[in-house]
Structure 1
Amino acid sequence: MPEIFLNCDLGEWESPAQTAALMPYLHMANIACGGHAGTSESIAHCQQLADAQKPFAVSTGAHPGVADINGSRGRNLPEGFTVDDFTSLLELQLTRYISGADLNHIKLHGALYHLTETDANFRHAFLAFVRHKSLISIVCLAGGEVAAEAESRDLPIIPEVFLDRHYQSNGQLLERKHPDAVITDSSLITDRLEQLTHTNSLTAHDGSLIQFPDHYDHLTACVHSDSPNSLEILKAARSYLNQE
């Protein structure tokens, strides 16, 4: 049975009060660092909140993304986006990030997360960048291409599943434009956690089963800060894991 840690993308579009409300229920916080969202002030604020948690501080990591385009919130790539643009973006945002927060892991946001799953050139560039930074764990899609290639290169990963998003049968997330893309029912969240902890699997939107690799001894489960009912979802998820 894999150990499960809760993570959340923070410093994005939630209010400072919402950030503070969510933090006590997390094990890991992915902090936006000035691409799709985030400022030097919000990075430092998130780190202060993470450090203040008792009895253990919340582990913090960088959450780089592409700039917001027409309200896409970093889910669309700029036209003509290249590998060089990608690596420059990572360098710039991590430089900004480490001036205000501890770098324990990295999780790409939105379009970049999906780009490295689907394009080998960007995936290779990302893993080369992480290797150069040394000892940063990569939060990446459980059972995905980044996870598999990172493991083949002996890079540390934290495989990720999504509690508040439905999956397609191929293991990718259901597109956000789909009316059932986001899960808001906290009781369904605990059902998903129970399935994860006991069968290492999740049920896709079409009813098919997504089985995650057996060798994972830990997983991180994501709840998005801007999802409806995110606080209640995290409370229910943390309560279930504490009982387990």
Structure 2
Amino acid sequence: MGDDQMAMPLIDQANLACGFHAGDPLIMGRSVELAVAHGVSIGAHPSYPDLQGFGRRHLQCSPEEVRALVLYQIGALDAFCRAAGCQLAYVKPHGALYNDLVRDDALLMAVLDACASYRKGLPLMVLALADNGRELRLADEADVPLMFEAFADRAYLSDGQLAPRRLSDAVHQDPERILAQALAIARGEPFADIDGKPLHLRADSLCVHGDNPDSLAVLRRLRARLDAL
């Protein structure tokens, strides 16, 4: 999704779909090569098997199934990374699977186990919340390092969970609002949740969705502002 050729020079990390919600072997290979050409770290972006719904629909999968499908997708993308002479940097689940990890300990442990089984020290990127104590505890049990992610273009609930996409204002469309929220997160400052109350998140990574119509314009401005910090 989005114009990868234009976006890649502006980012530090790329979450690459592994064929289950988007992408195919040809696209995956080209995306890896493009990321390598621009010095961008590559993360596997596994999802539920949901091409029709772009991975944004919850599917009833057992923890065993989730572990297997995540491990499968990591391996698929890593094959292209190895062929391009780079190392897969992290794993970041997509869409409904990403959101389900916030609520379901068994699914989170399944994904953590997939990461640990694939490569010792392979980080898992999860949603930065107001309190990530649960995620840190389970990741410590699995011996998997965590990375925390926040979103520039999504509205938040008071606990740091993403506002459901069914809400009309769940996705920010105003470039100025996206930029302001991104800069607040990058500076470690509070920003307004969906109810206008202050929310503070500690994040290692900042996401701008590639399918946002103004993502390229926002990325250009955000890159310039972040470089100046």
Name the TM-score, length of structure 2 as normaliser.
Answer: 0.88
Supply the distance in 2 between the matched residues of 1:149 and 1:235 (Cα, whole angstroms): 37
Supply the distance in 2 between the matched residues of 1:194 and 1:94 (Cα, whole angstroms): 31
Residues 183, 226 of structure 2: 8 Å contact kept: no
Partner SS for 1:205:
coil
1:75 aligns to 2:56 (yes or no): yes
After superposition, residues 81-92 of structure 1 pair within 5 angstroms as 81-92=61-72
Supply the distance in 2 between the matched residues of 1:230 and 1:147 (Cα, whole angstroms): 31
Aligned to 1:49: 34
1:74 counterpart letter in structure 2 = G
Shift of 1:147: 4.6
1:111 counterpart letter in structure 2 = A
Aligned to 1:135: 121
1:21 aligns to 2:6 (yes or no): yes
Q: Which runs of 5+ in 1 are unaligned?
A: 1-12
Aligned length, in residue pairs: 220
Shift of 1:193: 3.0
Supply the distance in 1 between the matched residues of 2:97 and 2:205 (Cα, whole angstroms): 19
Partner SS for 1:92:
helix
Partner SS for 1:180:
coil
Aligned to 2:201: 212
Residues 152, 208 of structure 2: 8 Å contact kept: yes
Supply the distance in 1 between the matched residues of 2:171 and 2:151 (Cα, whole angstroms): 10
Residues 186, 236 of structure 1: 8 Å contact kept: no
CA shift in 2, pair 1:161/1:148, >3 Å: farther
Shift of 1:199: 4.0
After superposition, residues 165-204 of structure 1 pair within 5 angstroms as 165-204=154-193
1:108 to 93, 96, 103: 93
Shift of 1:163: 0.3
Partner SS for 1:100:
helix
Residues 141, 147 of structure 1: 8 Å contact kept: no
Aligned to 1:59: 41
Partner SS for 1:99:
helix
Paired-residue identity, %:
30
Q: Which has the higher contact order (CA 8 A, sep 6+)?
A: 1
Residues 61, 104 of structure 1: 8 Å contact kept: yes
Residues 71, 115 of structure 2: 8 Å contact kept: no
Q: Which runs of 5+ in 2 are unaligned?
A: 82-86
Q: 1:7-29 CA distances to partner (integer Å, 9 max, x unpaired)?
A: xxxxxx34xxx111111110000
Higher helix share: 2
